[in-house]
Amino acid sequence: MNIPIKNHEEIKKIRIAGNIASNVLHMIKKHVVSGITTAELDNICHKYITKKEKAIPACLGYYGFPKSICISINETVCHGIPNEYTKLKNGDIVNIDVTIIKKKYYADTSKMFIVGNCQDHALQLCQVAKQSLYITFPKIKPGLPLNIIGKTIQNYIKNTPFSIVKEYCGHGIGKNFHEQPHILHYNNFDTSIVLKPGMIFTIEPIINAGTNKVFCMHDNWTIRTKDNNLSAQYEHTILVTHNGCEILTKRKNEKIQKIYVNM
């Protein structure tokens, strides 16, 4: 399998792209309030990406996707399309997924936002989804099989009441939005791919409150849970370093290390 290894110049560019994508999520936080429409959030992000950061919103026009970011509320699993009639309301849990291109290189990140006060179990779902991403970081180092990531997530989730969506995976990223390898978020027995310094990929587990069954709506984009229960997702773009990993989309106020030394 042809898995791109990025050189220093490419890593520098993807690091810059990663910073920009993380800035978008930091910037949008204060706007994620009850009453705002998802189209307004999209518009704010679009302007910030293009005008302030002089970057390109990668989702816009990607296989015909009509907006600049994905916004997925409550039982929407992913790929929600911003629109003028959906207003955020108190208690919503909202994923905003941002992918940008800067100097031809991509970075991809998403996080959950909570609108006002939400129910304990919704908050718990978001925290578990976040943790399911974070616990992979201390495990990533060259020489280990890539499937360590899915194993780690599944081992964590099996001790919670929640389930892992199987249809969507993380992906290599760089000069392309989606490239090799696929990063499964559940246990799999493929040990043929080994982590190497210079690999860059996303990890983006989707965790459901109920079953892991999902379906695609008639707009051919929006993915929802079959049982109408809540879904949550967090995503970072990760570089494998010579002794661990670097979180290329870490936000300035995010309480994790940027660089993990794991050996």
Binders of ligand MF3 in range 215-244 (CB under 6 A): 235
97 belongs to the binding site for ligand MF3 (CB under 6 A): yes
Q: Which does 53 bind (CB under 5 to 8 A by kind): Co ion, ligand MF3, none?
A: none
Interface residue with ligand MF3 among 99, 147, 231, 241 (CB under 6 A) is 99
65 belongs to the binding site for ligand MF3 (CB under 6 A): yes
Q: Which does 79 bind (CB under 5 to 8 A by kind): Co ion, ligand MF3, none?
A: ligand MF3
Instruction: Please name the residues in contact with 84: beta carbons below 8 A apart, sequence gap of 6 or more.
Output: 37, 39
- The number of residues that bind ligand MF3 (CB under 6 A) is 11
Look at residues 4, 243, 6 and name the one whose alpha carbon lies nearest to residue 144.
Answer: 243
Q: How far is the CB of 121 from Co ion (least distance, A)?
A: 25
Look at residues 8, 4, 2, 1 and name the one whose alpha carbon lies nearest to residue 173.
Answer: 4
Quick one: tokens of 76?
């929407």
Q: Which does 75 bind (CB under 5 to 8 A by kind): Co ion, ligand MF3, none?
A: none
39 belongs to the binding site for ligand MF3 (CB under 6 A): no
Interface residue with ligand MF3 among 6, 79, 250, 251 (CB under 6 A) is 79
Q: Which C-beta is closer to Co ion: that of 136 or that of 202?
A: 202
Q: Which C-beta is closer to ligand MF3: that of 74 or that of 99?
A: 99
Interface residue with ligand MF3 among 32, 204, 214, 250 (CB under 6 A) is 204
Q: How far is the CB of 65 from ligand MF3 (least distance, A)?
A: 3
Look at residues 135, 76, 145, 108 and name the one whose alpha carbon lies nearest to residue 260.
Answer: 135
- The answer to whether residues 258 and 137 touch, using CB atoms and an 8 Å cutoff, is no
Positions touching ligand MF3 (CB under 6 A) are 59, 62-63, 65, 70, 79, 97, 99, 108, 204, 235
